[in-house]
Structure 1
């Protein structure tokens, strides 16, 4: 796992030294617990304050961990990935795919915009019209009685 020129710009190697509280982050994902639709990858779900990852500063929530100490995390169950982290030793090297600035879990692409909500609902408009019609009818009937 060297920083070869063939790595995409959003793939970085992060070296962490395990502290008393571990590496200082939680993971989600795996073959049996997909975090991102159609992706079995392992993702950083939480960076623990004052942990090794937070102190280093390069790892962020939403980053995808591609490998740990040279072992690829492709198509592993969540439990298998956790076990790899546990036996990784004191000095841990991660290959990480940095999250995209607008990373979202789920479908990508243009999303439908919600319809603008009118301050008055259709039912309220119908009630007002019906009330106005009833008042007009009442007045009309009263006026008709006076003319007979």
Structure 2
């Protein structure tokens, strides 16, 4: 993590609802999500109206460090899933919140899979379209007799 971004660790207690804990995870030693050197377990999505959404503290991109005191280090993805499923009705998560502007997952809606800013792609395309439009209008004016 860079010096400009700080991750905050927080314990979050959730009560399992009708749809479980209300979030999905990615990661594990067999499905490394962030990088080849990181087998952490990360929140990939929060289910609307689920326990996590109602609580409001867990966010997409957060790293889950522990479930009920059990560390989520060096686990296969399915083993991590089993821990969540068997955690009981009241679950305490130790979560490392990412700086959502600079965290490992960044703001996924603002970047593509290569991490290139969409703005870096869209703005030049718009400028190119304006230049082409101006050129076409200029040529139309020049061909009039």
Q: TM-score scaled by structure 1?
A: 0.67
Gaps of at least 5 residues in structure 1 are 1-7, 121-148
1:107–1:67: structure 2 CA closer, same or farther, 3 Å change rule? farther
In structure 2, the partner of 1:88 is 87
Number of residue pairs aligned between Structure 1 and Structure 2 = 118
Structure 1 or 2, whichever has the larger Rg, is 1
Structure 1 segments (4+ residues) deviating >2 Å: 103-108, 116-120
Does the aligned pair in 1 maintain the 2:23–2:46 contact within 8 Å?
yes
In structure 1, the partner of 2:34 is 36
Give the whole-Å Cα distance in 1 for the aligned partners of 2:114 and 2:99. 14
In structure 1, the partner of 2:71 is 72
Q: TM-score scaled by structure 2?
A: 0.68
Gaps of at least 5 residues in structure 2 are 1-5, 106-112, 133-145
Q: Aligned-pair RMSD on alpha carbons? A: 3.1
